[in-house]
A and B are shown apart, each in its own frame.
Chain A
């Protein structure tokens, strides 16, 4: 909801401000300026969302509008109900989520990593980086529901290592058949499996990985590899039909990580359980067991001992969308607070008339816009480097929690009620400070990436 649309309908002006038609209003004063000058100080009644959308290239404007429509029609209506469901059995999906997967697949939201005819992205969008397109979509989905966003988008993370091998053969064999199924509405999801029990951050950081003991090990077998061990906290791991799984070679450390394409029907593979999480509840975080899982040589992605590179490349691509998730949550909090401030009355007038409420809303809007600008600027590159991605990730996720805090303060005790949606936004967003590397690991990731700059200055 946008103030410029709502407030004039309720009141000619907000308390503490002159009305738009007042002679001292800049809008009135600007009307008499020469045409050329007016073009420099222009005013538009459009909402901030429209203004920011209009600054995008045409293809991305279309993407943003389509993502918002899909999110508001398909994700938002079920968000609270799904969040409140009892924990469902591992590998199963409540009907609204099963239906969502089918609809998202048919609408092309699960196959837009590749251009038509291989995937569903319009060619025009391919002038812009994969990451930027992903960020635009993720922000709008997160704004509607964090859990459903993660259900849909963790799948992209699972595909990324295959694309990053640069192997047309791997893409043809593993990705395209899945894409065709998804476009028919059949849920062939992917998952990205790096985290191991007892070593959460080690998979995200070179220093930690150098000393970590691998939790999933690949032993040589006739014609392939035998995987044994466990992975944990794998988003969508219990639903995925294909998983990009990273395992150390027997007797070696994480430097030997190799990426294997594991099918969920391979004997010995079993999703053990899904976690009962604080938020993002529409998406399962699965613990996966690998008990003598035979993976043929043909399912090794990118070559032996190339897994660490694929993992770090993937994280460089995926951390920016986590920043975009946070922007979506911050926007959701700002929208909820704006709606509350316009709807709730105290002492005969809407809360938005009070100066402290106006100050808080302005702060929320400014912080959210600033974070979005950082994401859009950083995501323009086709090859985001680690420092850029990590900076965007920790800055935006910490910033979004501050914005949500401001919104909570504005709603007061009403922020505690599930039906007001803000408390879910808080719980969903809290995960973004943890996954894809904790924000502490991401800060160190910036320094790791830029260490030559510091070394040169010593």
Chain B
């Protein structure tokens, strides 16, 4: 039976829960990330994720409760997840991303009745989304031979010469992947770490706390299809989890960029250029205002998107929002660097890291160009 929205989490509980997350961010995450030039050690990340688990913000139990993405059908829960990720991202977008992946993996574990574990989700295909054929497949529409080839190339089981990229803490134990099968369509599949060949890529652009990894299978692993095969349910689950992922990416980028603009605003109130505080210069006001505009739009969009019913139209709306908002949030983070000037370029200041993390979030699970192709295809299908 479908639960009524807010069975588990009412609007009234939201503020209290978010306050708990904020306290955790202030007391535990902030001191651990106080030196932005030093990546948060993996041991510390694990310990912090453990604290989130104890607080119930991450729920690896068999039953949904009030954790991140526990009940994606509940708009209040979606709102909680998005807001919680924004709070965490203000201190470390990379850590927030890891918590986000863990929350989605917990959801998939419950959905397909798997044991809880140290799980992650690999969202990107071999080349991003593999273009807009994805939309036709998720909508259950016929595919041209070219589109079928694109899906097979991008979303089949990854092989060493065509791996998939994952950004996660190094010691995950199992990974969920979205796989394409020509007859059965898209489905989620979980693989244990031992079955996966992992190649580490050093010095990635952002997410210093995490590791960039190529995942592949040197020989096809033995695995059973998750759950009974139901093409419609599989498509729905793929749409749902991708939509939640898009919401999470936007929320994290918004939190990171918001932190950058906050730091830059504080700096503009103390730093002088010539006779004036730099915040009194229109050039700086413009940079900050452009950043705040992006944050305002992102916040409004997230609120609206969280209230949509999970479906392909929701996924298309999330993509549409991402095409516009991620570049704007990158501009906001870049403006924060610009307000700081030379100081902002230095790693111990921290805003350059927020900019790199925002760039990273812009390019995961489809670049804005690719998402525009997907949105255009969605419009053509209407």
Residues of A near any B CB (own CB < 8 A): 83-84, 195, 198-202, 205, 207-212, 232-233, 275-279, 285, 344-348, 351, 354, 356, 360, 401, 405, 408-419, 423, 426-427, 430-431, 433-435, 438-440, 443-444
Contacts and interface: CB of A to CB of B under 8 A. Distances in A.
A232 B128 CA distance: 42
Contacts of A278: 345-347, 352, 356
A435 B337 CA distance: 12
A88 to B, nearest CB: 15
Interface string B321-365: 000000100100010011001111111100010011001101110
Given A277-B346, A408-B362, A416-B206, 10 more contacts: A83-B203, A199-B273, A200-B343, A285-B342, A347-B130, A412-B127, A412-B128, A414-B127, A419-B201, A438-B338
Given A84-B202, A443-B283, A409 B338 contact: no
B273 A208 contact: yes
A233 B287 CA distance: 23
Interface string B3-42: 0000000000000000000000000000000000100000
A409 B368 contact: yes
A360 B205 contact: no
Nearest to B351: A278
14 contacts: A201-B273, A202-B273, A202-B274, A211-B274, A275-B346, A346-B154, A401-B334, A413-B124, A416-B165, A416-B204, A416-B212, A417-B205, A418-B204, A434-B338
A427 B330 CA distance: 14
B274 A431 contact: no
A408 B363 contact: yes
B153 A201 contact: no
Contacts of B202: 84, 418
Q: Which 6 A-B pairs have the closest CB atoms?
A: A347-B150, A423-B205, A208-B274, A412-B128, A347-B149, A440-B283
Interface in B186-210: 201-206
A346 B341 contact: no
A345 B204 contact: no
A434 B363 contact: no
Contact of B367 (A212, A344, A409): A409
B167 to A, nearest CB: 8
A410 B201 contact: no
B342 A408 contact: no
B131 interface: yes
B299 interface: no
B275 A412 contact: no
A346 B367 CA distance: 16
A418 B342 contact: no
A203 to B, nearest CB: 11
Majority-rule SS of A interface residues = helix
B369 interface: yes
A432 to B, nearest CB: 11
Given A209-B274, A426-B205, A413 B128 contact: yes
B370 interface: yes
B183 interface: no
A434 B93 CA distance: 24
Contacts of A439: 338
A201 B341 contact: yes
B370 A412 contact: yes
Given A409-B368, A412-B363, A195 B131 contact: no
A417 B345 contact: no
A346 B363 contact: no
Nearest to A84: B203
B363 A415 contact: yes
Residue among B37, B271, B356 with max Cβ neighbours from chain A (10 Å): B356
Residue among A205, A344, A416 with max Cβ neighbours from chain B (10 Å): A416
Contacts of A414: 127, 165
Contact of B369 (A198, A344, A360, A401): A360
Contact of B363 (A202, A354, A416): A416
A198 B272 CA distance: 8
B63 interface: no
Residue among A202, A209, A413, A431 with max Cβ neighbours from chain B (10 Å): A413
